[in-house]
Amino acid sequence: MNNIIKITKSMGQSLWLDSISREMINSGEIENLINAGISGITSNPTIFDKAIGQSNVYDSALIEYSKTSENTEEIFEKLAIDDIKNAANLLSKTYQYSNFNDGYVSIEVSPKHANDPEATIKQAERLWNKINKPNVMIKVPGTNEGFIAVKTLISKGINVNITLLFSVDQYEKTAYAYLDGLTEFAKSGLGATSSVCSVASFFISRIDTAVDNLLDENSQLRGKIGISNAKIAYDKYKKIFDKNLYGEGSFFPLYSTGAKVQKPLWASTSVKNPDYDNNLYLNNLVGEETINTIPLETFNNFSLSGKPNNSLIENIDQAEENINLLSKQGIKFDDITNQLLQDGIKAFSDSYDSLLKKINEKLSKLKS
- Which H or E element spans position 218? none
pLDDT of residue 124: 98
CATH 3.40.50.2300, domain 2-235+262-360, yes or no: no
Counting every residue written for the chain, the total comes to 368
Q: Angle at Cα 110 formed by Cα 107 and Cα 114, nearest 5°? A: 115
- pLDDT-based confidence at residue 366 (cuts at 50, 70, 90): confident
- Note if 151 is an active site residue: no
pLDDT tens, position by position, 21-36: 999 999 999 999 999 8
Q: Angle at Cα 230 formed by Cα 229 and Cα 231, nearest 5°? A: 90
CA distance 245 to 252: 6
pLDDT tens, position by position, 232-269: 999 999 999 998 888 777 899 999 999 999 999 999 99
Catalytic residue among 139, 151, 231, 260: 139
pLDDT tens, position by position, 158-192: 999 999 999 999 999 999 999 999 999 999 999 99
Rounded to two decimals, what is the model's pTM?
0.95
Q: Say yes or no to pLDDT of 96 above 90.
A: yes
Domain map of the chain by residue range? 2-235+262-360
SS3 of 288, please?
Answer: coil
Sign of the torsion formed by the C-alpha atoms of 3, 288, 154 and 259: positive
pLDDT of residue 1: 57
